[in-house]
Amino acid sequence: MAVKKHIISGIVPGSIAEELEIEPGDELCEMNGAAIDDIFDYQYHMENEYLEILIRKAGAGEEWLLEVEKDEDEDLGLLFDSGLMDDYRSCRNQCVFCFIDQMPPGMRDTLYFKDDDSRLSFLQGNYVTLTNMSDHDIERIIRYHLGPINISFHTTNPELRCRMLHNRFAGEALQKAKQLAAAGVPLNGQIVLCRGLNDGAELDRTIGDLSDYLPALRSVSVVPVGLTDYRDGLYPLEPFTETDAKQVLEQINKWQNRYLKEYGTRLIHASDEWYLLAGEELPAAVSYEGYPQLENGVGMLRLLAEEVMEALAERAGNKPVFRKRTVSIATGLLAAPFLRTLTGKIREQYPDLRVNIIPVRNDFFGNKITVSGLITGQDLIRQIREFADSENPGEAVLIPCNMLRSGENVFLDDVTVGDVIDAVGVPVLPVDADGEALVAALLAEETKPLKRRQQYEQTDCGRDRPAECRKIDAV
């Protein structure tokens, strides 16, 4: 097996690495006498206050053995081209519900990459099926105390899991989850629910079986499958109806009550889409038990409502000067009624504020896709124009920042925010997902930098790894 070469691509100014005269092009060979496979090994050794690092200098190949004394949480300041210090592992499955298989041709290459990499589960919160994990991977996760690891369960029926993932090893891969749970590795889970496959009695079986993973299993989300118009030749899946959604919520509520009584946790959580589709009220904030599944759309709307009311309460005693203003919010079809009600609460405190809600139908992916995170720039342009033909969009159109690529003002179809502004002739302002940011944007107050989430595209925790990418607990 070829030894991995970890060529240093950059040095953080003012870092330990700069002080030691390590340079781009040098190679990191060993840390504390051990070879480095990837970011897991690197971060594990980084937790030590004393380090010996072996550097092979570029050019002549001279080797330097450097001794480092540092604070436990202090980084060396080495940068690498890949945040994993290794190649990404692509998915070996052919899941019947895979969203990437349902995308039209001609989009940017990164949108077609299917990852199933346990390291990205730890670093970025991605969900993995475990079919790509080796015994060595499991051993390292346990030894390094990594967590949480996010697992796509989908079903605990081994035969059904093999069929849904189209992988003959998918059923036995769940034994790896049991190994992790037995070792006390924190886990989160998700179930992508497919009508006629893993719903109904199969959903009851899965939720019941998940007690085997307690107490390591902290939370499990149940989300409906997303279906685009590009499913020719794929497994014939059908969307859930309002009646179906009510049934799913009834099942989840039953199991929540049982788990709460027996184990002190609700464990299973329905994504917001189920409540909107069923036309039912969102649960109270306490039901979400700290919102561990926000990235899967579980509790985002409840949290948003709570934050909006907090933001209004903070302003109630000291109202900022506010002039009469009209502004619009463009969002997905599913959340539009909720936002209409929520902005009505804001207008009760600021009656001179007029808010238009522009529900954007998804012509690009198809009308079964109703969430804001999959709205394209071209659909947004067309429908802001349609709205402006009969209504005044006002001073600005606000959009949730999850419409955009992580770290950039670019939609899924490579249309930019600037392109949209030029096309519609109205300022278009991305807004962060929290309630304070929404209220501030509606009132034209100064807002904080955006915190963007990217659900469907391969991202990289690479060069300037944020704090959430450094969670290894040294033993």
Domains 6-79 and 303-442 equal at CATH topology level: no
- Predicted pLDDT of residue 198: 98
How far is the C-alpha of 474 from the C-alpha of 286, rounded, in Å?
33
Architecture of domain 6-79: Roll (2.30)
Question: Where along the chain do its domains lie?
Answer: 6-79, 100-294, 303-442
218 and 184 in contact (C-beta within 8 Å)? no
- Predicted pLDDT of residue 25: 92
Name the packing angle between helices 201-209 and 242-263 (round to 10°): 20
Task: Count the residues in the chain.
Answer: 475
- Predicted pLDDT of residue 455: 40
Q: Is there a cis peptide before residue 466, judged by omega within 30 degrees of 0? A: no
What tens digit of pLDDT does each residue of 195-243 get? Answer: 999 999 999 999 999 999 999 999 999 999 999 999 999 999 999 999 9
Placement of tokens 């009600």 in the chain: 341
Architecture of domain 100-294: Alpha-Beta Horseshoe (3.80)
What tens digit of pLDDT does each residue of 17-55 get? Answer: 999 999 999 999 999 998 888 887 888 888 889 999 999
31 and 45 in contact (C-beta within 8 Å)? yes
Torsion of CA 439, 445, 446, 449, to 10 degrees: 20
Taking only the tens of pLDDT, the chain with its 475 residues reads: 445 688 999 999 999 999 999 999 999 999 999 888 888 788 888 888 999 999 999 987 799 999 999 998 898 999 988 766 766 666 778 899 988 889 898 888 777 666 655 555 555 557 888 887 888 888 988 988 887 889 999 999 999 999 999 999 999 999 999 999 999 999 999 999 999 999 999 999 999 999 999 999 999 999 999 999 999 999 999 999 999 999 999 999 999 999 999 999 999 999 999 999 999 999 999 999 999 999 889 999 999 999 999 999 999 877 666 779 999 999 999 999 999 999 999 999 999 999 999 999 999 999 999 999 999 999 999 999 999 999 999 999 999 999 998 778 999 999 999 999 999 999 999 999 899 999 999 999 876 555 544 443 333 333 233 333 323 222 2
Name the β-bridge partners of 55: 28, 64
Helical H runs in 47-134?
118-124
- Predicted pLDDT of residue 473: 28
How far is the C-alpha of 228 from the C-alpha of 225, rounded, in Å?
10
Backbone torsion region of residue 408, taken as left when φ is above 0, otherwise alpha when ψ lies between -120 and 50, otherwise beta:
beta
CATH of 303-442, one of 3.30.870, 2.40.50, 3.40.50, 2.60.120: 3.40.50
Question: Model pTM greater than 0.85?
Answer: no
